[in-house]
């Protein structure tokens, strides 16, 4: 789905409201209002990224569209601010200098590759988000990560390290999906 400027604005406002409503207690504020734009009622997957300056401050999201996009953004904004295990809960003082970026994901498409070398041949740096799964472990990098890791081999190897696998790991049951995002903030 391509979002209009008004839909993007509504989602950003929704993310801000989710965080601001939760700042006093740190508890997820309830949300039950329908969006202004009915397209946001469709199932959608999103990530909400918080930054203070250039520094990551939180990033949580969903890979698969299992709930309406507006609800997904509301919940992921809260999770990025208060439930990202890499960071303590966001404070009111930090909030004044925190930027928000929302990434809406396309539906992931299965990529039939048998090796890391085959994956490297089909990857589109700067465009593709990647999901790797082996056994019960699953991990992803959004396309925005290409800004820090522009080399395809390093991108894939860091993704494997993120999952807790060795950099050269590629088991026979490795599954790969690719997706793109519409990102704004």
Mind listing the pLDDT tens digit for each residue in 37-57?
888 989 999 999 999 988 999
Q: How many CA atoms lie within 13 A of 132 on its CB side?
A: 26
- Over 80: is that where the pLDDT of 32 sits? no
Q: For residue 78, what pLDDT band results from cuts at 50, 70 and 90? A: very high
Question: Which residues, other chains included, contact 78 with Cβ-Cβ below 8 Å and sequence gap of 6+?
Answer: 18, 19, 22, 28, 29
Instruction: Please tell me the predicted confidence (pLDDT) of residue 1.
Output: 67
d(C-alpha 17, C-alpha 138), whole Å: 30
Query: Among candidates 122, 123, 125, 116, which has minimal Cα distance to 157?
Result: 116
Mean pLDDT of 50-74: 94
Instruction: Please tell me the predicted confidence (pLDDT) of residue 66.
Output: 95
Q: What percent of the chain has pLDDT over 90?
A: 89
Instruction: Please tell me the predicted confidence (pLDDT) of residue 60.
Output: 96
- Over 80: is that where the pLDDT of 81 sits? yes
pTM, full prediction: 0.89
- Over 80: is that where the pLDDT of 35 sits? no
């Amino acid at each position: 789905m391509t979002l209009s400027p008004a839909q993007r604005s509504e989602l950003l406002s929704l993310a801000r409201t989710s965080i601001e409503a939760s700042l006093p207690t740190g508890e997820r504020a309830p949300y039950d209002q329908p969006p202004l734009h009915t397209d946001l009622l469709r199932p959608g997957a999103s990530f909400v990224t918080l930054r203070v300056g250039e520094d990551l401050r939180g990033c949580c999201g969903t890979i698969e569209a299992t709930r309406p996009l507006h609800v997904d953004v509301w919940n992921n904004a809260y999770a990025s601010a208060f439930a990202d295990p890499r960071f303590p809960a966001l404070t009111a003082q930090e909030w004044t200098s925190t930027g928000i970026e929302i990434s809406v994901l396309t539906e992931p498409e299965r990529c039939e590759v048998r090796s890391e070398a085959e994956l490297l041949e089909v990857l589109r740096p700067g465009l593709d988000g990647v999901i790797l799964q082996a056994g019960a472990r699953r991990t992803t990098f959004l396309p925005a990560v290409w800004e820090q890791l522009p080399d395809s081999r390093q991108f894939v190897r860091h993704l494997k390290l993120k999952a807790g696998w060795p950099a050269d790991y590629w088991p026979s049951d490795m599954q790969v999906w690719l997706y793109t995002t519409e990102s704004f903030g």
